[in-house]
Structure 1
């Protein structure tokens, strides 16, 4: 057994020199044991045998691609105790089979790539979540930050902070070591504890007040926020200490806003409230669909309409115009309303999803069905529309609309032509989406399917007349 001692957990240069020497001798990976500093590799053996790193290239055949060197230099920062052996085994394979670096299906390569991805993420979190606090030092100032990395990234991340805060004297303290910058040179220090870092400074009070003031409960996406900023980082940033309380009160604030809007009488006020909600939705970021879409397509119609019609999502023409049901499906919907004898101007018409989801095909944008996550993310807006309009009847056109209204998967064939009760007791009639009629196969009796669609709408409106 060959035992190699490295100076530190992130000693890539030491690992690289030793790995080259071992690989030149074609020592199998299972015969090499890697350890840090004075660790004893074998509790029952003699003193470890140390291989001295070679100072020159032992053989031209040991040349490997830069991709491997860059990959290994990051993956070695991981806290996985098997990383040195894993990288050495991969090095041996690269000597005989260089293509392994491009084989994403290879189990060993996949594992190293996972280490690399984890390190990239940890380095990003450190750069994003560092918060410096001012510490007076005589007539000068120093800024100190505390961070708890998961892996051995402190030294590797130092150049970023030197470049970003070149003219500032700072220290970053972590349980895995510390770095100090005096505007001229960078120095390393020992591991630190949380108590070694300063507490709040006066500026943080202003920052907390600002952060709390701009918090918008309508845009709260707790799961997405925790994914990007895990809870373990919250205690180290001044503003995130406010997050638990703000999350707990978010829903209460939403309901309070709605109740306050309802308490003010007058049609003009109701119309203005819908308008404010529409303005708020214009900057919605609850799901990624806002990115490629042209704009948010919100509902429209009287704020006190007795009937609300909910479709799936805007199409290409709706995305361009910013209005619901103005494309081919909208034409089918309008024809059906005319057959029933209903004026669309009396309806509040909206969609379950407010942004157009599509797949580009050359210059065309083809409709793509929203997934459950996107529907659920947009459900908040539909709920607010219903809370403000308070319709006596809701018509869901298509399975997506039914899911947005009920929160569960609905099979159209099982509920079509009957009313189901929503959570607040409002009756909801479910029918097909008018775009379904446009996609019917040529052998289908399109006229009969259209008549059935009209009959669904007729039954729904008739049920409203029976109640009123």
Structure 2
């Protein structure tokens, strides 16, 4: 009996080298016992060392099978090494064994690989980092996870690439992996006590999760299948699941009622005076003087647009925020400050552009001393659409940038998804429209890398709008840009 000793449960290289030597020496599977150092298993019979042979085996292992074994040998089944070697041994007489989906050994090894891949996917999805501090200008995070199989070191590269901008450590019972911005290191396993139970940003994450939870799309069985209950204890939002699920029925009924109420809104009853205006100053004075909020949920302050009356580039957002309502100017809060930075990166001079909102008042609900943003409904948008159309007529921009879904709704008269509209300029009467996200969307993204990717795309949209506005005065309007979508009716 030969004993092959491996350094760790995921020691694929050690298994491969031992298997090659056994094949060269023509040692059958029944004469090999596979052991992992430190696994506590003893040897009941005397063993001989792995034989050496000058004769190289004629077995040629297909690359696809070797890749499959590399994954399958991360399984927790202690018989996996023997199974894998038996497959190699059988290749001596059946070279096409790996291509037989009905072979019992291939069925077993494929099932192991499938289970390992699923475990990797779960670890990718359900690791939750807790902030533990900062050092050298980099934030530091830690996470605890309990994988089903021996996958910890195998997924280290994924987390390095996914979270390269921060220092992190992931602790599992079997191994620890860590990244410091320069090197990926591994170490012995630990316990849950090695990682904090919570951090300062989790309350914000739970508030965000509650706000995006859609009860109408909840399927509990599918949810538990894709997010097994055993992982819930690692998720900061897990404490919200049961309360949110219990309230789902009532929330769906409220959503249906709200949709029906919106359908009954008198969309044609826009807030519009009898005549047109000659200047922006006159228009703004009139709306401040005459407008009545469409519901009691709105602030009593109108926030008018800002910028040159002849700007070639106009930005239309959703509505003023809390800061904008206090200061009486558009885009001066956190989202506006981010917009300023992105405009600068895109080469757009804010002072030369006109910035306004589709809805002219801040719609909110009170939570203690805080005023929480409420999304305008179709009636709110219709109420202010006449005023927005007048702003566009008086400023007469070459390009209008729609920042978010509410702006698109106000400019086109109907709800539309943003993603299909972001490929290029769109017709807006005699003008062109660029559709992009609202900068507040970037602020809501919880993941740093996702924020970076979306911000770059947002800057590209702004730069495209700038270039289109610059070309407008040189190229005839009909040739200024190729219209890639024509699904939006003229406003």
Query: What interval of TM-score do these two structures reach, taking the shorter chain for normalisation?
Result: 0.5 to 0.7
Cα distance, 1:217 vs. partner? 1.3
Cα distance, 1:166 vs. partner? 2.4
The question of whether the paired residues in 2 share the 8 Å contact of 1:33 and 1:41 is answered with: no
Which residue of the partner structure matches residue 355 of structure 2? none
Which residue of the partner structure matches residue 272 of structure 1? none
CA distance in 2, matches of 1:165, 1:268: 48
CA distance in 2, matches of 1:209, 1:178: 31
Matched, 1:133 2:115: no
Provide, for residues 206-225 of structure 1, a one-character-per-residue CA deviation record: whole Å limited to 9, x for no partner: 11111111212111111111
The question of whether the paired residues in 2 share the 8 Å contact of 1:5 and 1:50 is answered with: no
Q: Cα 1:57–1:218, aligned 2, differ >3 Å: closer, same or farther?
A: farther
Matched, 1:92 2:89: yes
Provide, for residues 380-439 of structure 1, a one-character-per-residue CA deviation record: whole Å limited to 9, x for no partner: xxxxxxxxxxxxxxxxxxxxxxxxxxxxxxxxxxxxxxxxxxxxxxxxxxxxxxxxxxxx
The question of whether the paired residues in 2 share the 8 Å contact of 1:131 and 1:145 is answered with: yes
Matched, 1:221 2:212: no
The question of whether the paired residues in 2 share the 8 Å contact of 1:21 and 1:58 is answered with: no
The question of whether the paired residues in 1 share the 8 Å contact of 2:59 and 2:91 is answered with: no
Correspondence list, 1:280-295, <5 A: none
Q: Cα 1:39–1:236, aligned 2, differ >3 Å: closer, same or farther?
A: closer
CA distance in 2, matches of 1:216, 1:88: 49
Matched, 1:233 2:231: yes
- Helix, strand or coil for the counterpart of 1:95? coil
CA distance in 2, matches of 1:115, 1:107: 13
- Helix, strand or coil for the counterpart of 2:185? strand
Which residue of the partner structure matches residue 173 of structure 1? 171
Cα distance, 1:44 vs. partner? 4.1
Q: Cα 1:42–1:260, aligned 2, differ >3 Å: closer, same or farther?
A: same
- Helix, strand or coil for the counterpart of 1:96? coil
CA distance in 2, matches of 1:64, 1:235: 42
CA distance in 2, matches of 1:239, 1:49: 54
Which residue of the partner structure matches residue 191 of structure 1? 189
Which residue of the partner structure matches residue 109 of structure 1? 106
Q: Cα 1:256–1:10, aligned 2, differ >3 Å: closer, same or farther?
A: same
Which residue of the partner structure matches residue 205 of structure 1? 203
Cα distance, 1:45 vs. partner? 3.4
Cα distance, 1:259 vs. partner? 7.6
Correspondence list, 1:322-361, <5 A: none
Which residue of the partner structure matches residue 24 of structure 1? 24
Which residue of the partner structure matches residue 13 of structure 2? 13
Unaligned runs of 5+ in 1: 270-468
CA distance in 2, matches of 1:45, 1:192: 34
Cα distance, 1:268 vs. partner? 4.3
The question of whether the paired residues in 1 share the 8 Å contact of 2:170 and 2:178 is answered with: yes
Which of residues 141, 144, 147 in structure 1 aligns to 2:142? 144
Q: Cα 1:117–1:192, aligned 2, differ >3 Å: closer, same or farther?
A: same
CA distance in 2, matches of 1:238, 1:179: 22
Matched, 1:67 2:64: yes
The question of whether the paired residues in 1 share the 8 Å contact of 2:29 and 2:82 is answered with: yes
Q: CA RMSD in A?
A: 2.8
- Helix, strand or coil for the counterpart of 1:104? coil
Which residue of the partner structure matches residue 247 of structure 1? 245
CA distance in 1, matches of 2:213, 2:162: 28
Q: Normalising by the residue count of structure 1, what TM-score does the alignment of the two structures yield?
A: 0.52
Cα distance, 1:150 vs. partner? 0.5
Unaligned runs of 5+ in 2: 266-491
Provide, for residues 189-234 of structure 1, a one-character-per-residue CA deviation record: whole Å limited to 9, x for no partner: 1111111112222222111111111212111111111111111111
Aligned length: 266
The question of whether the paired residues in 1 share the 8 Å contact of 2:23 and 2:57 is answered with: no
